[in-house]
Structure 1
């Protein structure tokens, strides 16, 4: 089926398994193997070639999601990787198209539906329960946390939906973090500065109390993408699970954890329950001494942090025959999880300020979903000249981790990198089409955002944000019309041909 040819009887998606069933209606979207795989480096090594793409070292490609049915050391555990590493695959799980998915999400975020709490009878995530008080309890005996490479600091959970409440006012937040298994019942948790969950942790720590937390793995993809919306679209106190509710037009179901005062996602494949301990820190690579953490979304392996907070695990619950979900850090799985919410946030903010100017937004693979946005604009009158750069400034305010904005006209496809580069080649002059905004705080995982790279940078994590205006000046538009070809019925010559 083509991207636009969605099933007419689109089934309701409520969890990971129903999402996989949607994809199984298409050819080559999900593949399975019964060959045993080692979760330590081998599993990611395989998928690097099959479908990771993104900023992964070449050779790599876009390909199907992959389920490993036999995992070394585990009798009843499957591992899924790459579910979200194709924009087309994401669109299919929401019964829309690759080009329309930004609009789909920007409308959903306007109509959030709050999560609800359900009883144990609906909590399939608790079909099997392992308590940390059991003398044989060991995280890695229960769950095959993978490593991406042989030099990782340790096994990581890369797609855990971390959910906790503000200890002062009860507001909830769900986010995705770097979670490294440190011992049989401890997991370290790395926080990029500014994360809302870290604000909750700091409040609990200031009071000398642990922060109860759940980590849900293997959930409806609406939750995974919804969790990646950030301020100002989802400010502190906004529960991103309500975005997932808006996407599915029904509330996400939560259930009370069995060992801590926290809520987990009721139909998750796996839920790890625990407490973030106050005033406890560990070195991220204390078990390996590699100096490295894991591959991060910019395409480089992050450094192991010297002191990161610790979750004391109290229990692990899971469904029967569970599916452990993971991803490769620099793959397009990150591009789509981070980029689609970024696109929706930018579009909504620009549309409010400059109605009708912005036609579409794309955060493409080279920018990892966070660092680069392509804005497609349409200038319809002389006073629109200059507003395209105002739109770029609004994009920077809508998403603080954005580094570069490329602006193109309505006749340029923002989803086609070749077309965008063509616009930069023929509609861009470096001295007049570039706007530099130096000295702005951006993202700490960009290795070029460091004083060692440029003397203009005062501190690590500061960057020069840049606008590349590849639009034609309004008064010159007549000189930049693309060649028009005859409209023809190609199907007369090639039956079934899709012109898109």
Structure 2
């Protein structure tokens, strides 16, 4: 395959980047791209695993990581584990694949310079102090060190990028962490979103849009004029970019550039660069960028090459159905860093909870804090809902009036994040991140007939198979649901009856020092 390479040599390549850096403390390494994120993780025992054993990207790679670190709503056995780099990919001798970078709340906290319980507030602060991206010259953009053009006779996405299939029934290879960057060609407003992208041919991808996505609105406007929509697909990124991109309206309304949230997280702007083949920007420090155009009035069957009827495993833990009519991206070029790392995820795993859930938490926290300062202590977008469908809200009741405010907080949360289905309310003595503690509160502070709020026939999420008229004939369409609030807080006037047994506070370390090793200062 023909390729062009820049002659500049001031960017790190595969041999001198992430693997060889081993400083003493993770916090000493600033993160501005994927490689510096990996360098930081490499200093923390148990957070990053590399293997040279050959792996097949078709089903095997995801099957391995399902057992090592996927977690989430993946069928058991699975577990939380390290991020993993596969250095030897069958059929792709020059490629490496990373999976699970964000498949742990602890790992995300280390990468975003905070602690697991403070991630919500850190993300909320980044929204309030967003910094807009900037454009740099091409000689400052590592993502364009190597360029492949679709006009080359031997260009073939299927041979160039080791896009994995998660299961043997997938519609095809998927780019599972491809961040699509598109712009409204009339207003110039930009948006970034992660979408389901299936490799359909040598220079074609299909793209699935869930209802209400902003880039789809840009596409529809362009299509109405008979025009293609130029987009870049950015892979292998600073995790601040991926997580910041997963905020949704109304927190980030149409016209809000989510890249500015990553800027707020890092305290400096994300760097963009002009694409080499289309009138669009790409993320300058990405590992791999696909440049292309969403064609007007062209549709394709998602599983046209396999006929399985399935797309890929989605965040609720089920196979998403193959879509019979999806827009097509015509690829114009692929640009890469030297020694590029392909980044992917296991669809229903804990990584989705981090990507979708932490922005969900921040959106809810900011909205409730604005309405009721100091009332909401913590939010956890639970992994059982893939970070989207289930949230636990910890509230601080100080009067009988607050019994009603707890439920009001739940209503605000449902308004802020439309895809939420269930909310569990707990008191400040319950750890919202500990499912056993939450279930204890539900068992001892909840009565189904008096502690439940039902809000029927509200828009939810199309990928939840229970949100269909076939499951509940009262529902008018797929993606409409009954939303439920489980009030597992103690009534304020009975608070003394619900006081937990109080044990003496004792330092256990002298009795069992091996169980309490000193924590690494990662902040």
TM-score range, shorter-chain basis?
over 0.9
Residue 256 of structure 2 corresponds to: 238
Deviations 1:66-101 (A, max 9, x none): 000010111211000011110100001112111111
Question: Pick from 188, 196, 211: which aligns with 1:193?
Answer: 211
- Structure 2 residue aligned with 1:251: 269
CA shift at 1:8, angstroms?
A: 7.5
Which residue of 2 is the match for residue 101 of structure 1? 119
Superposition map of 1:33-432 within 5 A: 33-432=51-450
What is the SS of the residue equivalent to 2:401? helix
- Counterpart CA distance in 1 for 2:477 and 2:169 is 28
Gapped regions of structure 1 (runs ≥ 5): 1-5
- CA-to-partner distance for each residue in 1:17-67, whole Å, 9 max, x for gaps? 000111111111010000111101110010000000100011100000100
Paired residues of 1:10 and 1:95 also in contact (CA < 8 A): no
Q: Which is worse superposed, 89-98 or 311-320?
A: 89-98
**TM norm structure 1:** 0.98
SS of equivalent residue, structure 1 residue 432: coil
- Offset of residue 496 of structure 1: 5.9
Contact kept, 8 Å, 2:26 with 2:40, in 1: the verdict is: no
In 1, Cα distance between equivalents of 2:376 and 2:159: 51
**Which residues in structure 2 correspond to 1:465-484 (within 5 Å)?**
465-484=483-502
- For the 8 Å contact 1:292–1:301, the answer to whether it is kept is yes
State how far apart, in whole Å, the 1-side matches of 2:81 and 2:67 are: 9
Inter-partner Cα distance in structure 2 for 1:327 and 1:117? 28
Where 2:366 maps in the other structure, the secondary structure is helix
Aligned length: 495
**Matches of 1:355 and 1:468 in 2, distance apart?**
22
- 1:489, 1:289 → 2: CA distance? 61
- 1:385 Cα deviation (Å)? 1.9
* Shift of residue 476, structure 1, vs aligned partner: 0.4
Q: Helix, strand or coil for the counterpart of 2:93?
A: coil
Q: Which SS does the other structure have where 1:315 is aligned?
A: strand
3-state secondary structure, aligned to 1:258: coil
TM-score of the aligned structures, taking structure 2 as reference length: 0.93
Residue 20 (str. 1) matches residue 38 (str. 2):
yes
1:7/1:477 Cα in 2 relative to 1: closer, same or farther (>3 Å)? farther
SS where residue 430 of structure 1 aligns?
coil
1:448 to 444, 447, 466: 466
Question: Which of 446, 460, 464 in structure 1 is aligned with 2:482?
Answer: 464
Structure 2 match to 1:3? none
Cα RMSD, aligned residues only:
1.2
Offset at residue 274 of structure 1 (A): 0.3
What is the distance in 2 between the residues matched to 1:154 and 1:224? 23
Distance in 2 (CA, whole Å) between partners of 1:351 and 1:98 is: 20
Q: d(CA) in 1 for partners of 2:506 and 2:391?
A: 34
1:489 Cα deviation after fit: 1.7
- Report the CA distance between 1:497 and its aligned residue: 4.6
Correspondence for 2:14: none
Q: CA deviation at 1:383?
A: 1.9
The one-character-per-residue Cα deviations of 1:281-328 (angstroms, maximum 9, x if unpaired) are 000001111111000000000111110000000000101111000011
